[in-house]
């Protein structure tokens, strides 16, 4: 049960991150912080389906994480849930076509090794 919850946390968190990222890339960069442009930005965000999809998946990840914390030690659950960083990095590379620097790959590897050590 723990690993099923952990898998749900990791996968729904990653899908949520990807969805919100895609939605914000569709909306574009925030460059003007005056009230009018900010209100238009908020309107664009509210109308963006990717953002809503991301919010739903992040909510599932959050409540799954709460359920995981009910059943597992915090010292195991938090580092194990950090596996989302690895999944996010892989998804950014292959789904969002981002260029991942060697430093970022090394960071993801460090997270993976940390998760492996915690699991032992």
Q: 33 lies in which domain range?
A: 2-119
93 vs 33, higher pLDDT: 93
Query: CA 15 from chain center: how many Å?
Result: 7
* Mean pLDDT score across all residues of the chain: 92
pLDDT tens, residue by residue, 34-52: 999 899 989 999 999 999 9
- At 46 the pLDDT is 92
Residue 119 has pLDDT above 80, yes or no: no
Residue 120 is predicted with a pLDDT of 73
pLDDT, residue 10, reads 95
| pTM summary value | 0.86
Q: What's the domain count of the chain?
A: 1
User: pLDDT tens digits, residue range 69-104?
Assistant: 999 999 889 888 988 989 999 999 999 999 999 999
């Amino acid at each position: 049960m723990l690993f099923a919850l952990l898998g749900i946390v990791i996968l729904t968190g990653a899908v949520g991150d990807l969805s919100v990222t895609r939605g914000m890339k569709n909306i574009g960069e925030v460059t003007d912080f005056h009230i009018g442009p900010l209100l238009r930005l908020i309107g664009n965000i509210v109308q963006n389906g990717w953002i809503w999809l991301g919010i739903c998946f992040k909510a599932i990840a959050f409540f799954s994480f709460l359920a995981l914390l009910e059943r597992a030690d915090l010292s195991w659950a938090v580092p194990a849930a950090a596996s989302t960083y690895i999944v996010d990095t892989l998804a950014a590379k292959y789904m969002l076509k981002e260029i991942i620097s060697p430093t970022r790959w090394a960071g993801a590897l460090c997270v993976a090794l940390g998760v492996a050590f915690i699991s032992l």
